[in-house]
Amino acid sequence: MTDVSPTLAPPAPAPDRSAPPTPAARGGQARRLLALARRDLPATVGAVVLLAIVLAAVLAPWLAPYPGDGSHATHPLDTLAGPGGRHWFGTDAVGRDLLTRVMYGARTSLTVAAAVLTVSALVGVPLGVIAGYTGGVVKDVIMRITDVFLAFPALLLSVALATVLHPGTGSAIIAISVGWWPWYARMACVTATGIRSRGFVDAARCLGVSRIRIMARHVLPNALTPVLVQLSLDAGGVILTSAALSYLGLGPQEPTAEWGLMVQQGQDLFITDWWVVAFPGLAILLTAFCFNVLGEGLRSALDPHRELTR
Amino acid sequence: MARRLRLPALAAALAACVASVAGCASGTPPATTALTPTFTYSYPLDVITDWDPATSYSNELVALQNVYESLTRYDPGTGTVKPQLATSWSSTAGGLTWTFHLREGVRFHDGNPVTAQAAKAAIARTIAAQGGAAYIWGAVSSIDTPDPHTLVFHLSYAAPMDVIASSDYGAYVYDTAPPGVKPGALKSWLEAAHDTGTGPYTVADWNQGQEAEVTLDAFPGYWGGWSGRHYRQVVFDHTPDVTTAWQTLETGDVDFRSQLNPELFKEATHFRALGTQATASLQNLIAFFNTAAGPLTDVRLRQAVQNAVDYDGLLAALHGSVGPAQGLIPSGLPGNDPALTRHQNLPLARKLLAEAGYGPGGRHLNLSLTYAQGDDAQQLFVTLLSSDLQALNITVDARPMQWNAQWAQAKATDPAHRQDILLMYWYADYASAYSWFVNLFHSAQPVSFNLSYLDDPVVDKEIDAIPQLTATDPAAERANYALLQRQLLEQDAAAAPLFVNTYQRVYASGITGYRDNPAYPDVVFVHDLEPSP
């Protein structure tokens, strides 16, 4: 109760969100954003490329040169055409336009990544917060359960689960999520354990605020920053894992466009028709890399010690 | 500082990636192949499923044909058979009695001499085992051995025994009483990778599940002799991945690959260090539909899938490595019928699906399919089929599998665990179409290769009538084949023949004497080869 940490300082008056920001305020935000972007060029480039990939995925039915090739169309008389004017990325073994397939593949990969991370965060973070805040037996039980999951390499666990499930996008999401949520539970637990002894939590407890309300209103919001950073860092990992499952035939099935599946199907053509495997492979590489640099940038930008160390 | 380094590092990684891709695309001449006394055969499937020559009926053919021999061997050049363990033969009584004179001085690998009694015992054991290709001896009523080198077959109906004796399965002559093996223990002894053949090579090593799966060593006492240049050892590598197979060919680590893909085969024709050979085969790829369990028990759904297959598209996409399927029987065999060539008919497929309550606007249908891992042609078919069926509101769950696993699932005792569609190649056991019918569509318990699980007494009766018709009435035989094919493919819709293979072999150009024999699919008779000095 004698804690005099900055969190006990009287909160600054909340800005009036109903009033529109003044031009000066807007200019200030833009300048801050620009400064941030200048300060971390790789993260900025990563964010821009990811935005382009997301737009390509969302607008694939309108932007793709041959939208039918993204689903069930095949052209057996136009197989393995090299990159050129008609097909910028060439065509695959059944004559489908690879640029179209890569754009549609982005939809699958990003959907899987978003779903896995959402499920993992929704399951892992609340469990971690409960464990960290409550402590004792509850913490022990939850953390031992996470330990069981963490004892297996995430990819191995996903492969094992996907093998027994019906192959498909949904199965891939379930299989990856099962191996992913414990990391969020552990991270949230560590953060919540640190927060539970902070003064503002003690204050809330003394005022008779219920446990659930303390966890929801005071602990959880403070535990979210590292989670957000981790989510952006993990997106690339999920895409790689999803591609690995598809490569093994355990993810989405033909004719769904999926980068890992495209690489698997093109691997035997790598020597003679390199484009079949190169473009989906580069899409995986680029997306995973951009998520990583963006995550690093976020970590750096949201680091509370950042201003102090500069 | 560390952050600044990251972008150049990325650029370098991407450049290396692109450079490697470009390098692979342009290709580099392979290193000169250094021939050694070891012949290494790269095979895409598990080599061994059964070591017993009486029941062997699968991929092990490629190894066993170098270990065991039969009385005769089929010569594709003349369309007749030539001597092997038998030096001459004749038939009398309208083909009801056949006399084979055995080669003298031949010994089994265990040291015992090859006699008529030993050959009779081997054939009798194969018949008694009732496995694999035992059916080929169906016409035999008794066997006499008037002297140690004469074997006389008495038949219950006329049959071409000289051709039957050249069969790729079930016709091996082997020692049934090797020294030191107790009576009754022969099978288990053989399954431990022992052999009792007469061929030029004997089994030296077997590493199940390993890349270098089987090793054969030269049998010094081989009757064909070892004068001149011959390979002294044969290694069968199990290499499912085509790219790996190509790389090992390029580097000279393997000497022979049974099948790559059309693109790599074309590439191989440009390399001086590699020889290529394309040969029309008697082998076709067939999609078997599960008629006993699952959604495809409804014949309308089977017919719908049959009609949804883009047969012509498949041929076009495979760039000349296959020919059209004309019914179940490949061209070159009696009973082949070009009128049975199929074409895609999507409107009919939709109509059939609608009648069954499926298709666009109807219930969604899920079909499981298994196919051979590493087989590009099968993978391409699966891609085409999945795309065509998706437009018909059908999802295909396709699983590439190792053959042993695929076959085990297909033979699962619980029918619910079996697949809906299975892809498998089939080829003749000898120069006859009978094998396709008796093995693939005759009812059988336990399940072996009848992987559509058809159990139709009328079909069984028609199939059982074939051997006698073959010997007595070729016109009736052809009519029977035509009738059966229409019944199986149209009324029962138990299967869909997809294409006939063209064998595209790639081997080290220093090897001379290689000649593909389609009657023995994928077999290289290694003793016939001559390595470069």
Exposed e or buried b per residue across B482-519, where buried means at least 16 C-beta atoms within 10 angstroms of its C-beta: bebbebbbeebbbbbbbbbbbbbbbbbebbeebebbbb
How is domain B282-502 classified at the architecture level of CATH? Roll (3.10)
Please name the residues in contact with B273: beta carbons below 8 A apart, sequence gap of 6 or more: B29, B30, B31, B32, B33, B250, B252, B508, B509, B510
Do the beta carbons of residue B308 and residue B359 sit within 8 Å? no
CA A215 – CA A196 distance, rounded (Å): 9
Tell me how many domains chain A contains: 1
CA angle (B179 as vertex; B176, B184 as ends), nearest 5: 50
Of chain A, the percentage scoring pLDDT greater than 90 comes to: 57
pLDDT band at A18 (very low <50, low <70, confident <90, very high): very low
Across the range A252-259, mean pLDDT stands at 91
- A253·B396 Cβ contact <8 A: yes
- Say yes or no to pLDDT of B147 above 70: yes
- For residues B50 and B60, the answer to whether their CB atoms sit within 8 Å is yes
Q: Which domain, by its residues, includes A194?
A: 40-71+89-309
Q: Report how far residue B192's alpha carbon sits from residue B312's, in angstroms, rounded to the nearest whole number.
A: 46
Render pLDDT for B259-293 as a digit per residue (tens, 0 to 9): 898 999 999 999 989 999 999 899 999 999 999 99
The CATH class of B72-164 is: alpha beta
Residue B1 has pLDDT above 70, yes or no: no
Between B326 and A305, where is the model more confident?
Answer: B326
**Residue A306 to chain B, least CA–CA distance (Å):** 15
Question: In terms of CA atoms, which chain A residue is nearest residue B263?
Answer: A272
Q: Does A71 touch chain B (CB under 8 A)?
A: yes
Look at residue A22 and tell me whether its pLDDT is greater than 80: no
Percent of chain B scoring above 90 in pLDDT: 74
Answer whether residue A274 is part of any domain: yes
Assembly ipTM:
0.74
What pLDDT, on the 0 to 100 scale, is given for residue B432?
84
Rounded to whole angstroms, the Cα distance separating B192 from A123 reads: 52
Say yes or no to pLDDT of A9 above 70.
no
Chain B residues in contact with A282 (beta carbon < 8 A): 14, 17
Q: Supply the pLDDT for residue A23.
A: 59
**A-chain residues within 8 Å CB-CB of B380?**
93-94
Which residues have a Cβ under 8 Å from the Cβ of B7 and sit 6 or more positions away?
A41, A42, A45
- Considering chain A, what is the average pLDDT of its residues? 86
**A272:B388 CB<8 A:** no
Average confidence (pLDDT) over B251-258? 94
Q: Could you give the CA distance from residue B410 to residue B82 in angstroms, rounded to a whole number?
A: 37
The pLDDT of residue B13 is: 42
- Of the listed ranges A5-14, B178-187, B293-302, the one predicted with least confidence: A5-14
For residue B4, the chain A residue with the least C-alpha distance is A42
Q: Suggest the residue from B4, B244, B259, B261 to mutate for an interface test with chain A (most A CBs closer than 10 A).
A: B261
Query: Looking at residue B526, what DSSP letter applies?
Result: G
Note the pLDDT tens digit of each residue in A186-212. Answer: 999 999 998 988 888 889 888 888 889
Domain contains A234? yes
- Taking an 8 Å cut-off on Cβ atoms, the answer to whether A271 and B398 are in contact is no
Residue A93 Cα, gap to closest chain B Cα (Å): 7
Single-letter code of the amino acid located at A86: R
- Measured between CA atoms, how close is B480 to chain A, in angstroms? 36
- Judge whether A269 is closer than 8 Å to chain B, CB to CB: yes
**Higher-scoring residue by pLDDT: A223, A115:** A115
Note the pLDDT of residue B3: 35
Q: What is the CATH number of the domain that holds A47?
A: 1.10.3720.10
Please compute the mean of the pLDDT values over residues B377-384 and round it to a whole number.
94
In this predicted structure, what is the pLDDT of residue B431? 80
List A residues 155-214 in contact with B (Cβ-Cβ < 8 A). Answer: 166-168
Output the pLDDT for position A229. 87
CATH topology of domain B32-64+196-279+509-528: D-Maltodextrin-Binding Protein; domain 2 (3.40.190)
Give the nearest partner residue to B317 out of A76, A273, A278, using CB atoms. A76
Q: Tell whether A155 is covered by a domain.
A: yes
For B248, phi then psi, to 5°, come to -70, -30
| Closest CB to A271 among B243, B313, B395 | B243
Residue A244 lies in a domain: yes
Distance between CA B297 and CA B395 in Å, rounded? Answer: 17
Over residues A32-70, the pLDDT tens digits come to 767 777 778 889 999 999 999 999 999 999 999 999 999
pLDDT at A306: 57
Residue-wise pLDDT for B479-529, tens only, equals: 999 999 999 999 999 999 999 999 999 999 989 999 999 999 999 999 999
**Per-residue pLDDT band at B338 (split at 50, 70, 90):** very high
Q: Position B110: which residue type? A: D
Neighboring chain A residues of B379 at a CB cutoff of 8 Å: 265
CA distance to A140, A189, B202, B487, per residue, from A128 (Å): 11, 4, 64, 64
pLDDT at A305: 57
- Evaluate if residue B15 carries a pLDDT over 60: no
SS3 content of chain A, % helix, strand, coil (to 5): 75, 0, 25
Q: Determine whether the interchain pair A265/B312 forms a contact, defined as Cβ–Cβ distance below 8 Å.
A: no
Interface check for A140 against chain B (CB to CB < 8 A): the answer is no
In chain B, list all ranges with CATH 3.40.190.10.
32-64+196-279+509-528
- Chains A, B: CB contacts under 8 A, how many? 109
Chain A residues close to B383, C-beta within 8 Å = 74, 93-94, 254-255, 265
In sequence order, the β-bridge partners of residue B370 are B399, B422
- Report helix angle A169-196 to A136-150, nearest 10: 140
Among A306-310, B176-180, B470-474, name the most confident range. Answer: B176-180
Across the interface, do B313 and A76 touch by the CB < 8 Å criterion? Answer: yes
SS (H, E, C) A131-180: HHHHCHHHHHHHHHHHHHHHCCCHHHHHHHHHHHCCCCHHHHHHHHHHHH
The pLDDT assigned to A250 comes to 87
pLDDT in tens, A73-102: 999 999 999 999 999 999 999 999 999 999
Calpha distance A233→A220 (Å, rounded): 20
Reported as a pLDDT band with limits 50, 70 and 90, residue A181 is: very high
Report d(CA B252, CA B321) in Å as an integer.
Answer: 24
Which range, of A87-91, B8-12, B129-133, B510-514, averages the lowest pLDDT?
A: B8-12
Mean pLDDT in residue range A270-278: 94
Nearest to A74 among B243, B246, B384 (CB): B384
- Listed by number, the residues of chain A in 218-257 with a beta carbon closer than 8 Å to a beta carbon of chain B are 249, 253-255
Pick the residue with more confidence: A21 or A239?
A239
Mutate to test the interface with B, among A69, A94, A287 (most CBs of B within 10 A): A94
Residue B86 three-state SS:
strand
Average per-residue pLDDT in chain B?
A: 89
Instruction: Give dist(CA B387, CA A170) in Å, integer.
Output: 19
B421 pLDDT more than 70: yes
The closest CB to that of B263, out of A72, A168, A269, belongs to A269
